């Protein structure tokens, strides 16, 4: 009873454009489809195994016709279950790769899935019914092959369904891809999913903050004119620096977490106690050396914690500056001569200053043996080099 109410609530939320509710519904259907497939296949194999054993034992007569027809007839339902389970698995894999959709895009995606389900089941039923008719024909009246006639009619009906399906499928997929800003074909959804997961791993807890910066940057770029190529380039560089900050903040957090500071404190206390109790000068020197090493590690931990806070503050400040630029752009679009508002040249200067600000911060790591920016900077240069070659 409660399960039924929950499903109704999820279905209502899905109808209202709730992407999470639709995802939960697909996951639930995938589990149910898998269970139905296991149950259907088990009963099909068990019962048909018994029937064919009877046929092999008794043979001939009515069983010669009835058992093959029963097997193929039941196979129509089994094939439909297999197709349903496969489609449920495909939809689950796809929904896991899909970024969150708005109400309009979700409605298109639901319609697309309905079309795919329909054509898959139509193809399955067409093939299986044609096989069933052929078996019935060959077993009951092999002298007159009549099964190609209804089979041809069914195939024509399927092709009539397939033609508009392909047009609708291409249109809906392109509409969804355009809404998501994904170039290329439908398979690129999965490629972008891999990129998102990799980026999420690199950014960690700062992925949402970087996403905010991306949204603000894209809004600013959308308000600029095509002639503002320098401004767009400055924004790209600035967003790249924000990403470097977010990745570095995540890397520093991992370094901080990797230092067993509690264990160090315990080890230090134990060594200090041993040093006080020992009388040998040479052993005392060894203990003192070990204590100094722990002191260095504790100092490094404290410095990393401090640097972590600095990076977080500068990252947050950089994102807020980008948001402020977006607000200034909106003010300029509403009232170009508004007092106190930045003009386009001012926005460019702001973007370049922020980029230099972050670059100066990066250079603070130059003396470090393990520069957390080095690899990230190389990737950014490679990306901009590729953009320049295309231009």
Q: 281: pLDDT confidence band, cut at 50, 70 and 90?
A: confident
12 and 148 assigned to the same domain: yes
Q: 263: pLDDT confidence band, cut at 50, 70 and 90?
A: confident
Residue 52 forms part of a structural domain: yes
- Please report the pLDDT score of residue 10 as a whole number: 47
236 and 352 assigned to the same domain: yes
224 and 124 assigned to the same domain: no
160 and 203 assigned to the same domain: no
R_g of the chain computed on alpha carbons: 33
Residue 130 forms part of a structural domain: yes
Q: Which two tokens stand for residue 179?
A: 């809404």
- Please report the pLDDT score of residue 344 as a whole number: 58
Residue that terminates a domain, selected from 186, 215, 244: 186
CB 85 within 8 A of CB 37: yes
Which is more confidently placed, 91 or 371?
91
Q: Which two tokens stand for residue 27?
A: 């996951």
Over residues 184-203, the pLDDT tens digits come to 888 888 777 777 777 777 78
Residue 88 forms part of a structural domain: yes
Q: Which domain holds residue 154?
A: 2-186
Residue 193 forms part of a structural domain: no
Strand runs (DSSP E) across the chain, as ranges?
A: none
Per-residue pLDDT averaged across 209-223, rounded? 81
> Mean pLDDT of all residues in the chain?
79
Residue that terminates a domain, selected from 128, 158, 186: 186
- What percent of the chain is modeled with pLDDT above 90? 26
CB 169 within 8 A of CB 112: yes
CB 343 within 8 A of CB 225: no
177 and 296 assigned to the same domain: no
357 and 305 assigned to the same domain: yes
Q: Averaging pLDDT over each range in 116-125, 185-194, 308-317, which range is the top one?
A: 116-125
83 and 176 assigned to the same domain: yes
236 and 146 assigned to the same domain: no
Residue 248 forms part of a structural domain: yes
3-state secondary structure of 227: coil
Lowest mean pLDDT among 71-80, 224-233, 262-271, 296-305: 224-233
Question: Does the pLDDT value for residue 168 go beyond 90?
Answer: yes
Residue 191 forms part of a structural domain: no
Global confidence as pTM: 0.59
Q: Tell me how far apart the 2 most distant CA atoms of the chain are, in Å.
A: 110
Residue 339 φ/ψ, nearest 5 degrees: -70, 140
Residue 73 forms part of a structural domain: yes
Residue 317 forms part of a structural domain: yes
Question: Does the pLDDT value for residue 221 go beyond 80?
Answer: no
Structural domains of the chain, count: 2
Lowest mean pLDDT among 5-9, 167-171, 176-180: 5-9
Lowest mean pLDDT among 110-114, 128-132, 264-268, 380-384: 380-384
What stretches of 59-102 show up as alpha helix (H) in DSSP?
63-97
- Residue 181: Cβ within 10 Å count: 9
250 and 182 assigned to the same domain: no
154 and 267 assigned to the same domain: no
332 and 250 assigned to the same domain: yes
61 and 181 assigned to the same domain: yes
Residue that terminates a domain, selected from 125, 159, 186: 186
Over residues 324-356, the pLDDT tens digits come to 888 877 776 666 555 444 555 666 666 666 667
């Amino acid at each position: 009873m409660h399960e039924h109410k929950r499903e109704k609530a999820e279905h209502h939320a899905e109808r209202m454009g709730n992407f999470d509710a639709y995802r939960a519904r697909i996951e639930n259907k995938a589990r149910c489809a898998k269970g139905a497939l296991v149950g259907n296949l088990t009963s099909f194999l068990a019962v048909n195994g018994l029937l064919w054993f009877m046929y092999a034992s008794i043979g001939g007569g009515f069983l010669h016709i009835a058992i093959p027809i029963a097997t193929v007839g039941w196979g129509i339902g089994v094939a439909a279950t297999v197709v349903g389970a496969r489609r449920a698995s495909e939809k689950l894999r796809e929904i896991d790769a899909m970024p969150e959709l708005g109400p309009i895009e979700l409605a298109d995606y639901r319609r697309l899935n309905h079309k795919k389900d329909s054509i898959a089941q139509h193809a399955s039923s067409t093939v299986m019914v044609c096989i069933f008719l052929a078996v019935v024909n060959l077993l009951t009246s092999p002298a007159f092959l009549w099964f190609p006639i209804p089979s041809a009619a069914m195939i024509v009906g399927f092709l009539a369904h397939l033609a508009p399906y392909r047009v609708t499928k291409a249109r809906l997929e392109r509409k969804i891809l355009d809404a998501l800003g994904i170039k290329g074909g439908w398979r690129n959804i999965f490629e972008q999913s891999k990129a998102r997961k990799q980026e999420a791993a690199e950014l960690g807890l700062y992925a949402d903050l970087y996403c905010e910066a991306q949204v603000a940057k894209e809004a600013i770029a959308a308000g600029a004119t095509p002639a503002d190529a320098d401004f767009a380039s400055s924004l790209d560089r600035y967003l790249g620096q924000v990403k470097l900050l977010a990745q570095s903040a995540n890397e520093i957090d991992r370094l901080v977490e990797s230092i067993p500071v509690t264990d160090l404190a315990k080890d230090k206390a134990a060594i200090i106690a041993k040093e006080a109790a020992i009388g040998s000068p040479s052993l005392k020197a060894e203990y003192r050396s070990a204590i100094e090493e722990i002191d260095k590690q504790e100092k490094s931990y404290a410095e990393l914690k401090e640097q972590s806070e600095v990076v977080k503050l500068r990252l947050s400040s950089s994102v807020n500056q980008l948001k402020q630029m977006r607000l200034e752009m909106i003010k300029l679009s509403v009232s170009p001569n508004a007092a106190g508002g930045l003009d386009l040249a001012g926005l460019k200067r702001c973007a370049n200053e922020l980029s230099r600000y972050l670059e100066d911060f990066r250079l603070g790591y130059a003396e470090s043996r393990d520069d957390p920016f080095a690899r990230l900077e190389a990737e950014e240069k490679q990306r901009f080099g590729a953009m320049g070659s295309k231009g």
